[in-house]
Amino acid sequence: MSAAAESPGVRRGAVYDRSYRPYDGPRGRRAAATAALYRASIRRALGLRRSWRQKAAPFVLLAVVSVPAVVNVGIGYITRERRLPIEIITYRDYVGVSSALLLFVALVAPDVMCPDRRQRVLPLMFSRPLVGNDYVAAKVGSITTILFAFSFLPQLVLFVGNMLVSDSAFDYFAGHLDVLWQVPASVALLAVYYAVIGCAVASLTDRRIVAGASVIGLFLVTSIASAVIVDNGADRGPSPGSPGALVNVLRLPLYLRDLVFLGHVDATSPLGGVDHGGMYAVGLYVIVLGLGLGVLWRRYRWVER
């Protein structure tokens, strides 16, 4: 070895024996690929492994939708000595009570759907073994899971809190057993509905701002149109409700919520008093879901060729 190589000022190189080796780990099929995309979509939607700015929106939403439950439990604790405790919100009213869910869908659905198309990574995803239906199931399922969790957790806080501040926790639990299936069922109907619509609208463009504005615009335009139709119908008849209430895409799952809790549409709702209003709501709900899933299937059908 030369003196220059041995001097302390000269860096010595290192040779590593690196080579390509075949992968010998577990090999998953379509189910494994779908599950991996589902988990990655949830992480992206919640801002996990991302900057704090991406984490702010989902957890602020969770705090906002939990406020009515915390306030209701607090008032129940303060007035627990009275014979008739004060209840500011019921389990039925709590389903879909906050418009923050709409804002969350408008923010998250484009963030989950649009970058894949804009960055042109779909051909890589669908090379194998993933197909279009798997992709749609993973994306819609991830947003549905988050919406369900964010809608159900405040209900759980409300139920447990009311049970603890009541005179007898066991009596409260036994007297509200129907809530244990009514709340999950109605929350699931709402979560699936909003997730499908949000993903369907977001799939039509690769720009997140356009997709988010389109989601909000769809809900707002149909809400305003429905309000105008209902008001005009109320001026011409004694019934408080109108079939025009079905135009409101945002409120449609709440009519199904009434069917779950009450067995009929609430008489004070915009659809109250309409003959077979509940049946019409169920039919239109299925149609909207079918249209949303049809748009998603159409948009991602080409990748299966």
Q: Per the domain annotation, does 18 fall within a domain?
A: no
Residue 253 to residues 150, 153, 258, Cα–Cα distance (Å) = 16, 19, 9
Q: Per the domain annotation, does 291 fall within a domain?
A: yes
* Contact present, 192 and 184 (Cβ < 8 Å): no
Q: What is the dihedral of CA 201, 206, 209, 212, to 10 degrees?
A: 20
Compute and round to an integer the Cα radius of gyration of the chain.
26
Kindly report, residue by residue over 9-41, the tens digit of the pLDDT. 566 777 666 777 777 777 778 888 899 899 999
Rounded to the nearest 10 degrees, the angle between the axes of helix 252-262 and helix 179-202 is: 170
Q: Per the domain annotation, does 120 fall within a domain?
A: yes
Kindly report, residue by residue over 220-270, the tens digit of the pLDDT. 899 888 888 887 765 555 556 788 888 888 889 999 999 999 999 988 888
Contacts of 282 (CB under 8 A, 6+ apart): 256, 259
Residue 295: the pLDDT is 94
Most confident of 6-20, 41-55, 145-159, 226-240: 145-159
How many domains does the chain divide into? 1
Looking at the predicted structure, is the pLDDT value of residue 299 above 80?
A: yes
Residue 4: the pLDDT is 47
Q: pLDDT-based confidence at 6, cuts 50/70/90?
A: low
**Which structural domain, as residue segments, surrounds residue 295?**
29-304
Residue with tokens 């009213």: 93
Residue 289: the pLDDT is 95
Q: Which two tokens stand for residue 273?
A: 């008093």
Looking at the predicted structure, is the pLDDT value of residue 2 above 50?
A: no
Q: Per the domain annotation, does 17 fall within a domain?
A: no
d(CA 158, CA 300): 40
Residue 228: the pLDDT is 85
Instruction: Report the pLDDT averaged over residues 55-62.
Output: 77
Mean pLDDT of the chain: 83
Looking at the predicted structure, is the pLDDT value of residue 292 above 90?
A: yes
Residue 26: the pLDDT is 76
Instruction: Report the pLDDT averaged over residues 173-177.
Output: 89
Kindly report, residue by residue over 195-206, the tens digit of the pLDDT. 999 999 999 998
Looking at the predicted structure, is the pLDDT value of residue 155 above 80?
A: yes
Contacts of 122 (CB under 8 A, 6+ apart): 116, 135, 300, 303
Q: Per the domain annotation, does 6 fall within a domain?
A: no
Residue 1: the pLDDT is 44
Looking at the predicted structure, is the pLDDT value of residue 185 above 90?
A: yes
Q: Per the domain annotation, does 14 fall within a domain?
A: no
Q: pLDDT-based confidence at 290, cuts 50/70/90?
A: very high
Residue with tokens 């399922």: 141
d(CA 243, CA 229): 9
Q: Name the nearest CA neighbour of 183 among 270, 93, 109, 245.
A: 93
Q: What is the 8-class DSSP label of residue 178?
A: T
More confident residue, 302 or 72: 72
Residue 145: the pLDDT is 94
* Contact present, 80 and 165 (Cβ < 8 Å): yes
d(CA 171, CA 96): 27
Q: Per the domain annotation, does 12 fall within a domain?
A: no
Q: Per the domain annotation, does 57 fall within a domain?
A: yes
d(CA 224, CA 206): 27
Instruction: Report the pLDDT averaged over residues 154-171.
Output: 86
